[in-house]
Amino acid sequence: RLNPFNRLQVILQHLKMSKNADSTADVLLEKRGGAGIITLNRPKALNALSFPMIQQIYPQIKTWEQDPETFLIIVKGTGGKAFCAGGDIIAISDAGKVGDRLTQDFFREEYILNNAIGTCKKPYVALIDGITMGGGVGLSVHGHFRVATERTLFAMPETAIGLFPDVGGGYFLPRLSGKIGYFLALTGFRLKGRDVLKAGIATHFVESEKLPALEKDLIALKSPSTENIADLLNSYHVKSKVDQEKEFVLDEHMEKINSLFSANSMEEIVKKLKQDGSPFAIKQLETINKMSPTSLKMTLRQLKEGASMSLQEVLTMEYRLTQACMRGHDFYEGVRAVLIDKDQSPRWKPAALEEVSDEFVDNCFKPLGNNDLKL
């Protein structure tokens, strides 16, 4: 048997090891120089946001916000492939099937975090290098600065899994120029690299190989103001030449997007796309036909209403919608078809837009009384 001294050594050794082994944690939170740094560290899961990660990130942001020695917050992902590919949707789906509270708690805590980012008093810099979708958009888009790279892949693909572009999508999407936001929300269209900047989602574009240097320079800033941080980001941005000459991928389609996606109902959008008949319109029609009809109707209304709401009002509305999705059929079926069985052939109920009544959609937007999101 170990004597007390040896036992203490073993315990200390164990503590030291567990501290070093902490690089296996799903999210790393550290203070370097004047910067608080959040590193999403689930590379195998493309840094998907889990409930425990949300529970760690939120209080840390709040702490740094109060700390006079923290001047900015940086959020990034590990592994080189993704910033954050979304929320842990399979876990939520599994929870919903057995009536577990995670279906309420996950969205509630996630939206409280999204709001904390949107109202953060310290400059918040998201390095959105790689896949940035769904929950990853919520972790970045509401902050002061979003730095895209040539590897950034942005999408809000929720209508394909019986959900809707949440995490404040109802706030930022209708505020993009023209009807780009409506187009992105309904079709799940993917934007890459500099196009993420041109669409107005990113604020800066920097080559991914320059990010370590940029991060080092951000950390080294002495008591910087938001302007100082913007100046530093701009200096990197103007030096980035990758794809500088390429025109915006949606440029040639903007006129069509603005007219076709400005209709008042999903049925009308579909009708306009059919009447247009161009290769672009046909392609969007094919995409929309694969999406959950319920999600499409919910999303169109979400964006229309969100266009004139505050971020807090939008998140409250979206929380109601998540709970409607959790009570429904399409979310579980969409997750099954796209993420679990991967047969890509969801059987939506109802299967046609015409079968989703206005009354049903109205119900999804109804307040939840004591269960409403409080921000």
Query: H/E element holding 52?
Result: helix 51-66
**Cβ neighbours, 10 Å, residue 281:** 18
21 pLDDT above the threshold of 90: no
**Domains of the chain in sequence order:** 23-371 (3.90.226.10)
Q: Note if 328 is an active site residue.
A: no
Q: In what order do the strands lie in the sheet with 35-40?
A: 27-32, 35-40, 72-77, 124-128, 145-148, 204-205
Average pLDDT of the chain to the nearest whole number: 95
243: left (phi over 0), alpha (psi -120 to 50) or beta: left
| Residues 203 and 145 sit within 8 Å (Cβ to Cβ) | yes
The CA distance from 110 to 112, in Å, is 5
Q: Note if 158 is an active site residue.
A: yes
- pTM comes to 0.93
Q: What is the dihedral of CA 119, 122, 123, 124, to 10 degrees?
A: -70
Least confident window among 11-25, 187-201, 274-288: 11-25
Q: Note if 110 is an active site residue.
A: no
Residue among 88, 166, 195, 330 flagged as catalytic: 166
What are the pLDDT digits (tens) for 311-332?
A: 999 999 999 999 999 999 999 9
Q: Note if 166 is an active site residue.
A: yes
Q: What is the DSSP-derived secondary structure letter of residue 49?
A: B
Residue 354 C-beta-side C-alpha neighbours within 13 Å: 1
Q: Helix crossing, 89-97 with 102-118: angle to 10°?
A: 150
DSSP per position, 98-132: TT-THHHHHHHHHHHHHHHHHT-SS-EEEEE-SEE
Residue among 158, 195, 215, 333 flagged as catalytic: 158
Residue among 118, 135, 168, 188 flagged as catalytic: 135
| Residues 321 and 365 sit within 8 Å (Cβ to Cβ) | yes
What are the pLDDT digits (tens) for 122-166?
A: 999 999 999 999 999 999 999 999 999 999 999 999 999 999 999
pLDDT category, 19, cuts 50, 70, 90? Answer: very low
Neighbouring-strand partners of residue 124: 73
What are the pLDDT digits (tens) for 74-123?
A: 999 999 999 999 999 999 999 999 999 999 999 999 999 999 999 999 99
**Cβ neighbours, 10 Å, residue 213:** 12
